A and B are shown apart, each in its own frame.
Chain A
Amino acid sequence: MKSNIGTIIKKECSRFFGDKTMFFTNVIMPGFLIYIIYSLMGDFFMKSDVDEEPTIVYVENMSETMRPILETLPYKYVTSDFNATSIKSDLSKKEQNYVFLAFPAQFDSIINAYSSDSVHASSNVSIFYNSTSDKSKEAYYLLSETLNHWEEGVCNLFNINEITKENLRYDMASDEDVIRNYFGELIPLLMLMMVFSGCMAIVPASIAGEKERGTLATLLVTPLKRSELALGKVLSVTLFTMLSGLSCFVGMMLSLPKLIHADELGLSTSMYQTSDYVALLLIILSTVLVITSLSSILSAKVTSVKAASSLMVPLMVICLFVGMLPMMMSDISNAPYLFLIPVFNSVQSMAMALEQEMTATILLITLISNCLYALGLVWVLTKMFNSEKVMFSK
């Protein structure tokens, strides 16, 4: 009994470790890729902090007691010569990256009264911010942490961003903006996953599968041009992958408002304009083109569906990690040349389209570069279909 289990395990191990490709793509490759991607992320995609402006904090009724503590934080404080009402209302515009900090009047005297053991009503310190801006959000977290920490030493003398009866909002970002931001972080990854699983199901079967079953050779003996075959294959697998991606996209767009209870929040159902949808669709189409043509090349290299799928694993790892970038990193650079990088450009462009920050230049760079990559890849695929080494290896 015991020895049989051992025998089976031994056989499985010699199968797994004996197959160098399998071992490489399943064991070595994933860790290596993650290492590369994370290292690159730090060096490459982050905006450099060097010349960045400090976040501006507008302060109403600046407390002289708190001033030294606040000044330990790396912010620029504006304490006079501003219109509090307009500062507060402007904060609800998209991506406003400042904070409005309001101390109650006579805050200092309340604090000072503490030492004489008198009883005092607790008062509220308000910090208004905009959560769609990372700068504003970070400043809000740090300010409230700092004030809270200090306040713990003084027996609940004041509250910070107290929940009031009127349900006063402190996050001044509009609900639409918050949700667009959320979509921008989530949807690129989901779309890439959909495109990829569609691709996995379709491309290896269409190319490596035809090689495996011997049906591709039947086509190659006809006068059909190799370039026609390569282009025909890529275009049809792109169409199928596109359709499955499209269906996922529609399903997601329809279900997400439900997921976030948009109707209860009173959000308009038309958060996006037709132009946003068109941009998104074009980006997805160009992405599908790149991914399917790349998968086609990998599939053409090998002689079985299984081998093709396992070759596609590293590609999938890369795509998923790049897809997570908007979620994991707040300050990704929008330098135009970065949009020449395949997959990365798709993810970033999708995020920008969903956050309604897309510019014509960025969209064009993404679409054109992706189409050029796809063309190049189809050219390589044609070369491969022409190569007797690839098509008629024993």
Chain B
Amino acid sequence: MNTNPIIRVENVSKTFQLSRKQQKSEGTTRKEIVAVNDLSFTANQGEIFGLLGPNGAGKTTTLRMLATLIAPDHGDAFIDGLSIVSQPAQVRAKIGFLTSELKLEDFFTPNYLFDFFSHLYNIDNETIETRKKALFERFGIQKFAHVKVANLSTGMKQKTSLVVSLVHDPDIIIFDEPTNGLDVLTARTVTDYLCELRDAGKTIILSTHIFSLVEKLCDRVGIIINGKMTHCGTIAEICDGQSLEDRFFTIYQDVMERSAQ
């Protein structure tokens, strides 16, 4: 396998200031939350890298920083050599960022939205048509390409969201909780597609709290707890013979004991 680190994350940190209202809704009196704490890792070209951690570990925050939606307080990350701090627009053109939180406007059809997003990436019409044909066929979208999003089923909407985020055929795909909220059939389509993309040489970073997904998909994995990366490597390297789930809980208890001291 090619071991060229196409994604380099170097000591990134992110602290959120909590407003009075947020303190109340989070049920804490702390003024700030350290969501990501001095995190570093690399992902190689052509692999699926998984960020595994419990809820609130800082996975979404890390991926949002990589996607340049929020800026790190410290540190930097490089995506194919481009800095997320100083070259955010170029980074955005290079990556595809997907999460179940990204929604499509009800009023439009998948066909329209595909064209709209393609234009935002300055793709020429000919390329748009070939990509649209291929992607719509791959996900069975042609059948409802001219139906407004409002009238689509959840699974159809999810497929459309996925396709629309990939209009520019990005080499690097960042996917926050890929199967979250997907129905089982769509989830299967998505995971199969991620494997296809990897086989085509794309690099994928995903976050999840589902062990089986990591075991099934990921070439390498980083375990993230309380904003810190505790372990990073192939599953074999990390697990040392144990099942991923058992290994994870040993690590988790260690971290908790240490932080309690």
Contacts and interface: CB of A to CB of B under 8 A. Distances in A.
Contacts, number: 50
Interface stretch (B3-11, B64-72, B178-186, B217-225): B64-72
18 contacts: A213-B105, A214-B102, A217-B102, A217-B103, A218-B102, A218-B165, A220-B69, A221-B97, A221-B165, A222-B92, A222-B120, A222-B121, A223-B92, A223-B121, A225-B89, A391-B69, A392-B70, A394-B22
A1 interface: no
Contacts of A223: 89-90, 92-93, 120-121
A222 to B, nearest CB: 4
Interface in B67-120: 67, 69-71, 89-90, 92-93, 97, 101-106, 117, 120
A384 to B, nearest CB: 14
Given A221-B165, A222-B120, A388-B69, A213 B89 contact: no
B141 to A, nearest CB: 17
Interface of B: 16, 22, 64, 67, 69-71, 89-90, 92-93, 97, 101-106, 117, 120-121, 161, 164-165
B70 A388 contact: yes
Contacts of B89: 223, 225
A164 B93 CA distance: 84
A231 to B, nearest CB: 15
A213 B22 CA distance: 20
Interface residues on A, range: 10 to 19
A210 B108 CA distance: 14
A392 B16 CA distance: 11
Contacts of B104: 215, 218
Nearest to B107: A215
B22 A221 contact: no
Contacts of A220: 69
Given A223-B93, A225-B89, A217 B120 contact: no
Contacts of A225: 89
Contacts of B164: 218
B24 to A, nearest CB: 12
